[in-house]
Amino acid sequence: MQKELTADLVKIAKEKLASGQVQSVIGWRKGLFDEDITPSVFTSAEDLEKNFVFNKFCKANLSKYLVKYTRGIEIKKSTTRVNNAMAKQRDPNAQDAPIPQEKVLVFMKPGDSHSFTQLLKENRITRDDVYVVAVPCACTMDESIPEGQGCDHCNNKKHVTYDEMFMEQKTVENPARFAEVEKLEHMSANERDAFWKNEFSRCIRCNACRDVCPACTCEKCVFDNTLMYTSQKVAVNDFEESLYHIIRAWHVAGRCTDCGECSRVCPEHIPLHLLNRKFVKDINELYGDYIAGSDMETKPPMLTYQFNDAEASIVYDRDPNKKEAE
């Protein structure tokens, strides 16, 4: 099945390249081993035929790569417009150079589609520069996952934004999605503190979670500020170990699509997605059900204000462990 799917996707990409509809393709490149899959840019039919792959190990969320890629396309367009304007100033009869028309094809799984839509809402990606082909979730090709069920990070199997549907999937709900979060909620404050101290103690500050996260798209990250202690790699105490991850979780609250990339790329196997999923659960309970990137219209709860919004006292009163903490 995997070979047939790969061949079909290669055919689609080759046709788009040959027609000139797109000039490049973002997909997955095979490595030395089956599980050694790398997100990559393809610009030729030969490269696609030789190196493109689509299998159960294609977990990487490709939406993040479009932020810089489409920005590069827009810079080329802007540069040409500026050069044309300057040429007109020197010579009113000068002919305008054609504006580059470049588009990239990208294969999107359902989880990627939510991240892509959220980035569109935040104006981080130029929609006209991207041709989206919707593909099935990689977990459907994982024999260890029962048919009709999703992986641990599946919200559902719904594609949100796409230009071409390769293979439609039925919506799959994940009733156990918050099971691990609820286990942490039922711990005492001291138990939770011990749990996260143990997890964060393994962090080597490689920044992989930040770099891969579709919600982390700041031009300059606070953790790269050399004038502040936040940029240092070595934590001197438990507080500094947790500071990086807690601040990052706050920064993406209400925008995180729960794609699980942070945990997937962590070399120390820290379950970072549980921090973000806790925020997702609380936002749903306090402000109503909301899935980031589920559509282009709904405003994120953390960016809007309603008169019936939850107050800080409500958040505090609902904590089942507050008396124990006191």
State pLDDT tens for residues 244-303: 899 999 999 999 999 999 999 999 999 999 999 999 999 998 888 888 988 888 888 888
pLDDT bracket for residue 111 (50, 70, 90): confident
Please tell me whether residues 69 and 112 are part of one structural domain: yes
Over 70: is that where the pLDDT of 152 sits?
no
Please tell me whether residues 122 and 230 are part of one structural domain: no
174 in any annotated domain: no
For the chain, how big is the Rg over CA atoms in Å? Answer: 22
321 in any annotated domain: no
Asked if residue 132 lies in contact with residue 163, where contact means CB atoms within 8 angstroms, the answer is yes
- DSSP letter, residue 98: P
Among candidate residues 117, 133, 165, the one where a domain is terminated: 165
170 in any annotated domain: no
Going across the sheet that includes 104-108, the strands are 38-42, 24-29, 104-108, 130-134, 164-165
Question: How far is Cα 318 from Cα 326, in angstroms, rounded to an integer?
Answer: 14
Please tell me whether residues 206 and 140 are part of one structural domain: no
326 in any annotated domain: no
187 in any annotated domain: yes
Mean pLDDT of 158-177: 78
pTM of the model as a whole: 0.85
Strand, coil or helix: 142 = coil
Please tell me whether residues 158 and 184 are part of one structural domain: no
Please tell me whether residues 216 and 307 are part of one structural domain: yes
Over 70: is that where the pLDDT of 218 sits?
yes
User: Which are the contacts of 93, defined by CB distance < 8 A and separation ≥ 6?
Assistant: none
Least confident of 33-42, 85-94, 133-142, 162-171: 133-142
Span 55-101, pLDDT tens digits: 888 889 999 999 999 999 999 999 999 999 999 899 988 889 998 88
157 in any annotated domain: yes
The residue range of the domain holding 282 is 179-315
pLDDT bracket for residue 241 (50, 70, 90): confident
Total domain count for the chain?
2
Among candidate residues 165, 192, 207, the one where a domain is terminated: 165
Please tell me whether residues 217 and 127 are part of one structural domain: no
Question: What is the per-residue burial (b if ≥16 Cβ within 10 Å, else e) of 235-268?
Answer: beeeeebbbbbeebbebbbbbbbbbbbbbbbbee
Please tell me whether residues 130 and 210 are part of one structural domain: no
Please tell me whether residues 11 and 158 are part of one structural domain: yes
What is residue 20's predicted lDDT score, i.e. its pLDDT?
93
What does the mean pLDDT of the chain come to?
85
Please tell me whether residues 113 and 45 are part of one structural domain: yes
Which residues are paired to 41 by β-bridges? 26
Highest mean pLDDT among 25-39, 103-117, 152-166, 312-326: 103-117
Among candidate residues 165, 187, 220, the one where a domain is terminated: 165
220 in any annotated domain: yes
Question: How far is Cα 264 from Cα 199, in angstroms, rounded to an integer?
Answer: 15
What is residue 48's predicted lDDT score, i.e. its pLDDT?
95
pLDDT bracket for residue 181 (50, 70, 90): very high
Nearest to 28 by CA among 60, 4, 66: 60
Nearest to 108 by CA among 127, 91, 89: 127
202 in any annotated domain: yes
What is residue 149's predicted lDDT score, i.e. its pLDDT?
47
Please tell me whether residues 192 and 216 are part of one structural domain: yes
Over 70: is that where the pLDDT of 306 sits?
yes
- DSSP letter, residue 62: G
- DSSP letter, residue 151: -
The pLDDT > 70 percentage for the chain reads: 83
Please tell me whether residues 184 and 161 are part of one structural domain: no
Please tell me whether residues 152 and 8 are part of one structural domain: yes
Pairing of strands 24-29, 38-42: antiparallel
